[in-house]
Each structure stands twice: as C-alpha cells, then as structure tokens.
Chains A and B, each alone.
Chain A
Amino acid sequence: MKLKDILSPFNVWERAAKKPWTIKDPINDRPGAANYRGFHKNDFDKCIGCGSCEEICQNDAIDLVPVEGQETKEGNSGLRPRIDYGRCCWCGLCVDICPTGALTMSNDYTWVADDPEDYRFIPGADKTKWQDATKGYKRDEGIALINYDRVKMKEIEPENRDKSFIEIVKGYNKDQAMKEAERCLECGICIATCPAHMDIPAYIAAIRDDDIENAFRILYETNPLPEICGRICTHKCETVCALHHNGEPLAIRWLKRYIADQIPKDKYMEVLGTEHLADPILDRKVAIIGAGPAGISAAYYLAIMGYQVKIFEALPDSGGMTRYGIPEYRLPYDQIEKDYDYIKSLGVEMQFSTRVGEDISLEELHRDYDAVFAGTGLHLGRSTRIPGSDNKRVYFATDLLREVSLGNEIDVAEKIVVIGGGNVAMDITRTLARLQNIKYGKVDVLTTSLETEDIMPADREEVVEAREEKAVIDPGWGPKEIEISDGKIKGLHVVKCLSVFDEDGRFNPKFDDNQRKFFEADMIVESIGQGMDLSYLSEEIKSGLKFGPRGRIQVNKNFQSDLKWLFVGGDIIQGPDVIHGVANGHVAARAIDQFLKK
C-alpha cells in the first residue's frame, strides 16, 4: 500500500472549515442562475410603450395597456406591456427585441397565487417580490435583433465642395434605402412628434416592399414638399425614434428623400392620380400670401379639393425661406422646383414680385377672394444692438442669404465674424466660406455664439461640416462691442458667457467680464434670430385682430384669425421650420374648406 492511498481519504476534511456548497434549505431558498429567464421586470423610466415586445411574442402573450401615472406624450405612448403567464414560454424574445432595454427578466421562478387572473400582470406596475431582483436574463450586448447602426450616407468630401454650392449629400441608392428601411420597428411613436403627423412607418414599409409609388402617395397625404423635406427637414421624428435610445435613429429624412428622388417629375400626376385636376371646378377663390412651405401646402390641399388658388409672392421666385434662406448646397433649386412645379400643374396660380401691402392691398384680396391665407415668414434680421452694430459693414444673415440666392454679388470681406449659433448662422458661415474661397482662395470666417458647443441650437452635423470647410467655430462668447476706427470695422469684442438661461428657463445670459477676447474682422454678420414683417396689415385690419406675445397674430387651432376670412400660418405662427409650415398649411386648407362651405 502506498502512502498516498492512506492519506487521500483525508482530503475530504480540506473544506471542513469552509462555507458549504450545499444549500441549507433547498425547498425555500433556491435562487435561479444569474442569467435565468424568470419573471419579467419593466423599468418604466426607460419603457416608451413601443410595443415591440408584443409584436415579436410568438405566443400572443403580451397586450399593450394604459397604466395609471404613465403619460402619453411625444416619444412615449404611455402604454405598457401586460403579460399573460398562461401563454408565456419565457423564450426571452421580448427582452431581446426591447429597443430601450427597459424589459428584463429576474431570476425568480416561483409564484403561487389562488386566482389564475393574477398571472396576467403588468411588470413594473404591479407590485411583485422580484421587482428589485438584480439577477436574471438581460439581453447580451453581443446579441441584437435590431440593427442599431444607420446606413452611412455618402457625402462629397470637403475639398471637393468648399468652392462651390454643389449639393453635399448624395442620397441613398436602392440597396442602401432598403437596408435602412429594414431597421424600422414600425412602432409609430414618431408620428405624433412630426408636426405634419406623416405616416412614417407606412412609407418606410412601402420602401421595404419596393413599392415606391405607394410610398410617394403616402407622403402626399400629409406633405406636398417631399423633395424639400427629404433634404432639410428638422427631423424631430428622429429624436424620438425607438432606436435612438440605444443606437442611431432611423434615417427617416433620407428615406423620404429616397422616395421622392425615385419619381421623375413628369410622372407625378400619374402616380398621384391627379391628371384631371388642371382646371379648378369650384367657383370659390382663395388668395395666399407668400409662396413658402405654409402657403404652398395650403394651396396644394385647396387645389385638390377643387378651389381656385392664387399665390402672391414678394420675391421673384417660389420657395420662400427654402430658396432664399437655405443655401443651395443643402437644398438645390431644381429640387424646390420639382415640388413646386407639380403644384403649379394642378392649376395653382403664382404671381411673383408682388408685395402685398405695396403692389396690392390685403383689402383688395379680401374683396376679390373668398378667403386669404397669410404665410409670410420671418425674413427680417434681428440686431444685437451692441455699439458699432449700426456700421454699414454689419449685415443680417437673412439679407445676405437672400442676396446670394437672387444671384447678386455680395461684397465679401477677407476677414468675417458671424454672431449666432443656430442653423441660419451655420448657413451663412458656410456660404461665406465658399464665397471667400472663390474670391480669395482661402477661408477666414469665425462664428461665435452665446451658447457653448454642447447647447448650440445648430444641428451637430452643420457644425462639424462647417469646420471641415475651414470655418472657425468658437462658441460660448457674448458680443460686447464692435470696434470701429475711421468708419471701418476692426473686430468684435466678446466676453465669456457663463449661462444663457436662468433657472426658470428664461433667456437671461450671464457673463464673466474678466474673460475677454477680440475677434479681428472687417465685416460682421448677425444671425441671432429673425423677425416678421407684418406691414401689409393696415390699421383697420390690425384693429380686427388679436396679438399675442412678441406680436404674433392670435389664431385658433385651425389657424383662423379673429377676422374669419383671414387665416395665418407658417413661421409667423409656429416654428420656425418647414415642416410646421407644411402642417399649418394643411390644417388651414381644411379649415378654409369648412369656412367656405358654410
């Protein structure tokens, strides 16, 4: 016998003083494994009620129901999943698909109740003994039923775009669009947030089915400017997309553009079934002031109902701010025309270079037409009113952008400072950078804003692309004074801006006068907001209207003013952006129809 054989039985004593492996009370105390697929938990702070869990459930075990205390609001339906444990098989697909990561499982698996109805419960709302369990099944980071990465959009490289106004974004091709459309969960959460309530999941489903003509018809149900909105919409829908909680939101805007890009201009009437509309049939006439998005949207919906519509536009061409405010590299003029020409072909008349209030009075329109819709927009610049801002080399961004669109040459300086942090500020910055490049072969434009980079109102990609085009963005400074010597601008003095809004969220900037900077410049552009020009309203008409805060005309929810025949919408009421204009115009068109039928 070997010594090992004698000693080895004593090995069992090795663990004598240690904690036993065995469980003391295996009947009552027997936890599931750390990733056990036990009873469900739902984190209501994360859940948006998108219904993906219900959609994927192969046992039809989940219903979406309202829950007290869960509010229906933008980005959140307020509905929550209720699970029928009579049907659940704990496969965990609902946890795997959950785009926000709200739905998880605990490792608890014992539950005794007398009433079978108890087993149909709402995780997160009904009190359960496992609601605070930390263990249990969670989606493995490596496994995703959802593709969280957006199909990359091809863009023209900075060095190939910074000397011209060529369109930067190339648009999706068919493969890219189909692949991106595949990512949509079809929850429909986005529709409420879109001001025009476009049926986004429906047109994306049509892309997936490769039924572009149907997709196009769906667009026109709520938005007659798909080429424009497909390029420059503020895409509020994407900010609430269920996918954005854990990844990149669906590229809804680019998919809309893809649809419109596929339909050639001469096929519009055929696809939309409006070939017979060229002559209005009703003897009712509506005048529209302003050929911007709000006006044209109202005109379109009135036209398809049969009204005679005439648009009066002060500027020499259509589009309003989409043409005279947004640079061509973001929205080419031929795309504006594609949208507008179709609406013209429906019998909508447009009279350009006619300013209501000067060339024709609003009273005349009231006399000659049954109703008037005014969507005159925000075309006036606002001044910082700092010392020196009255110099002739201080400009408003809106004026310069309009001049560029009109094809007029502007006197571009070698050194320019832009004041403002919104998209218009980026538009003028990048426009001036191009003009400098063309004229001087170099860029020297600096843009500064009150807001620091993290709270700048401009879209992130605008800031990034402006820098790619060699503009300098130096945010977080408040303009103090424009230094002038012999009538010529020397530059802009700024002080550090500590905060823009006070605790109540009101605009009330605070500065640190000890931190100063001086930006050299011989031309300064102000882009700190726009104002409206309501000079077309005579005193008599004004006396019949009510005005709200900041001089806005008060309208009801149908955009009807106190003068029943006058409807007002677009940037001067809501926004400013294109999609609010489109939505306002649509609602107003229906209201005008109701008003004229009375």
Chain B
Amino acid sequence: MKNILKRLNEKIDDLVVVKQRDDLYFIKVKREHTDFILRYLKLDENFKHLDFMQAVDYIENNQFQLTYMLYNYEIKINLGINVMIDREKAEMDSMHRIWPHLWQYQREIHEMYGINFPGSPRVDESFVLEGWEEMPPMRRDFDTLEYSKRTFYPRPGRSTNDPKEYMKEKLYHDFAKSPKIRRDDE
C-alpha cells in the first residue's frame, strides 16, 4: 500500500491520506480528476472491484461528499475515494463506463440526494420512492418529522406527557413563578 500511495502522490498534488484501519484508507480527489484516478486505480493498481458508492450531505459547507469504495483482492485493502461537489449545483460526471454497475448507485443517489449524473443510464427513473414529490429525503434539510406528521394520520388514543410539566404537576404544582411586576397605571 505504501508504494501505491507513493505513486498516487506523484499524480495528485497535496495528497491527503486518512488511514482508518489497516485495511481501510481514504483519499480526497478533485472532481475533475476523479475519472482519471479511478481508471488509474482500476487498471494500474489492481483496485478492480467497486464495493459501493455513497453520498453524504455536508450542508454546513454547502457541499456533498461522494465516496467510491474500491477493493484490491491481492492486498485485501479497501480504498475510499472522496470527492466534494457543490451542493447548489449538485452534479457529477457519471463513472459508469469504468464500472458498469455504478449506474444503479448513481440512480439511487439521484433519487435520495438529488445529485444528477448526466449520461448515466436510467438515472431519472424511481429507485424506491415511486411517486415521490418532496425534496430528496436524504438531504439534511428534509424535515422527516414534519413529513411523517403530515403524511401519516394520527392513530386514535395516543397521548403524551412533557416530563417538565408532568413533574411540576406531581411534585410542586402549587409553586408559581414570579409575581407580575406591578404597573403604575393600573
């Protein structure tokens, strides 16, 4: 792995490597270099297998992080390729020509995060959310609780208690807060 990283270092400026475990590493790659680096890792460094692809919403930085998780069967090591993309213009080049099965991941991410992959086969088709009209649900600004309150009708017989109010009722119900500050015009 050392040699692989050394060679990668020659290809990428300011390479940042995070070693999570002995068999799990992450590197950051710029969006415009992704295609080249993935091809290089697959063809020249034997990371033949793509385990999965996923996205994380970093709403604070106005970015999405895409992760391509590669596997090398010879050295038995996972290498995650992290790519940050703009959240406003949520778009990424499709990598399905390197690993054909990526189209399915890209279709799922498109549905869950609203990230587009132009040219990816069937990317606009529903993955699991048939008839979904809301904002993509894995975006952090999607209010799940509000959605479920609005969508699923309340079951009869449900009631709840606020611990703060309940304890007051049980333990110190005759205690009152500050008397009203008097007003001279009264």
Q: B-contacting residues of A (Cβ < 8 Å)?
A: 49-51, 54, 57-60, 62-66, 72-74, 77-79, 84, 86-87, 117, 120, 187-189, 191-192, 197, 199, 201, 220-222, 272-274, 276-277, 281, 301, 304-306, 557, 586-587, 589-590, 593
Contact = CB atoms under 8 A, between A and B. Distances in A.
B178 A72 contact: no
Interface of B: 144-145, 148-149, 152, 155, 157-164, 166-168, 170-172, 174-184
Given A60-B145, A72-B170, A587 B163 contact: no
B160 A192 contact: no
Contacts of A87: 148, 152, 155
Given A72-B171, A201-B164, A281-B182, 11 more contacts: A66-B161, A72-B166, A77-B163, A78-B166, A79-B161, A79-B166, A87-B148, A187-B163, A222-B177, A276-B184, A305-B180
A57 B160 CA distance: 13
B145 A277 contact: no
Given A65-B160, A191-B167, A589 B152 contact: no
A60 B148 contact: yes
Contacts of B179: 301, 304-305, 589-590, 593
Nearest to A91: B144
B145 A63 contact: no
Contacts of B174: 557
B167 A281 contact: no
Give 6 nearest A-B pairs by CB, closest first.
A188-B164, A63-B160, A77-B163, A58-B144, A72-B170, A221-B178
B183 A276 contact: yes
26 contacts: A51-B162, A58-B144, A58-B145, A65-B161, A72-B170, A77-B163, A77-B166, A77-B167, A79-B161, A84-B155, A87-B152, A188-B163, A188-B167, A189-B167, A191-B167, A197-B175, A199-B177, A221-B177, A222-B178, A273-B181, A281-B184, A304-B179, A305-B179, A305-B182, A306-B182, A586-B178
A220 B178 contact: yes
A117 B158 CA distance: 11
A188 B162 contact: yes
Contacts, number: 110
Contacts of A60: 145, 148-149, 152
Contacts of B177: 199, 221-222
Contact of B163 (A63, A64, A120, A589): A64
A192 B160 CA distance: 19
B33 to A, nearest CB: 32
A306 B182 CA distance: 6
Contacts of B176: 590
Contacts of A66: 161, 166
Contacts of A117: 157
B159 A191 contact: no
Contacts of B182: 277, 281, 304-306
A63 B144 contact: no
B112 to A, nearest CB: 15
Nearest to A217: B178
A201 B184 CA distance: 32
Contact of B181 (A57, A274, A587, A593): A274
Nearest to A61: B148
B41 to A, nearest CB: 29
B168 to A, nearest CB: 7
Contacts of B164: 187-189, 191, 201
A65 B168 CA distance: 15
Contacts of B157: 117, 120
Contacts of B162: 51, 64, 188
Contacts of A77: 161, 163, 166-167
A304 B145 contact: no
A146 B34 CA distance: 36
B178 A63 contact: no
Nearest to B164: A188
A505 B121 CA distance: 77
A293 B149 CA distance: 48
A216 B163 CA distance: 24
A222 B159 CA distance: 30
Contacts of A222: 177-178
B185 to A, nearest CB: 9
Contacts of A50: 163
Contact of A63 (B158, B172, B175, B181): B158
Contacts of B172: 192, 197
